[in-house]
Amino acid sequence: MKIGVFATFMSPLATPAMIRDFGRAAEDGGLDSIWMGEHVMLFDKNTYGYPSSKDGRIPVPAGGGMLDVVATFGFLAASTTRLRLGTGVALVPQRNPIYTAKEMTTLDWLSDGRIDFGIGVGWNKEEVEATGYAWEDRGERCDEFLTAMRRLWTEPVVDFKGKWLNFETARMDPKPVQKPHLPIIVGGYAPPALRRAVEFGAGWYGFSRDPAGVKAMLAKLDAAFAKAGRTRPADFRIIITPPGDMAVDAMQAYAEVGVHEIVPNLGSQRAERIGPRLAEIAALKRALG
């Protein structure tokens, strides 16, 4: 089983030196990947709370914020040679899809094919609306954007007519290094997310789910495949970030339910905490082979 680390880098703690040293330490420790979440704006008041914290808020250092995932992955790609870099998750329906397609294919090109495009529709209503889109139709918009991006990554010339996107004789190069395109890893738990994983995904990403919860979700995922007249392919990747309070030695249970990669959360980004946490995760990697 592969082992990565989830580390949404936040200022002021995530300095250039810290991120560079972190990437190299993760690679030297034998880890397989770094995954990073995405939010371009945070709000003092939200309609819906952050689902992975008890108080509904993202834990951000005082006076700080989350770094941009594309720029940070470009920096990490230049600082490492082997680690895969995954968005966990990119909020597709609030992004410009043409720029997103270009950014991701460029990252794949510059990293020599080390990008996993984890995607989701998001939970932050205020953020979606601030970027100029409607909240209620974000799922439909996500599907259209993914369809257009996939075609731009794989076809030499694209004509596209949709509800939000319309263009003719469009070319986008370079194409991704990975073929047919960089892997789309779909996050989310509702039936539309699972249907999206079947239609677009090379894998499914679950956040803060214990092994029992993952097993239940995989049954639903397999039902979604069956509804589409398919069975889940053997190479369809299941990637999980365990709950933050789960002990490292308890994470071996994920292999038993069919998880291919676990991505424990780094937690604190304070200098004195990073080394010990990376050592714990590297020890898990060695234990699981």
How does pLDDT run across 238-268, given as a tens digit for each residue? 999 999 999 998 999 999 999 999 999 999 9
CA angle 80, 82, 83 (to 5 degrees): 80
CA separation, residue 217 to residues 19, 90, 137, 241 (Å) = 33, 21, 24, 14
Instruction: Report the C-alpha gap between 259 and 103 in whole angstroms.
Output: 29
Residue 62 has pLDDT above 90, yes or no: no
Structural domain spans, the chain: 2-288
pLDDT tens string 73-125: 999 999 999 999 999 999 999 999 999 999 999 999 999 999 999 999 999 99
pLDDT tens string 190-237: 999 999 999 999 999 999 999 999 999 999 999 999 999 999 999 999
Give me the pLDDT at residue 50, please: 81
Instruction: Report the C-alpha gap between 266 and 119 in whole angstroms.
Output: 20
Give me the pLDDT at residue 248, please: 92
Q: Can you identify the CATH homologous superfamily of domain 2-288?
A: Luciferase-like domain (3.20.20.30)
Give me the pLDDT at residue 230, please: 97
Instruction: Report the C-alpha gap between 41 and 228 in whole angstroms.
Output: 36
pTM: 0.95
Of 133, 138, 163, give the one whose Cα is nearest residue 148.
163
Task: Give rounded-to-5 percent helix, strand, coil for the chain.
Answer: 40, 15, 45
Residue whose structure tokens are 């029992």: 212
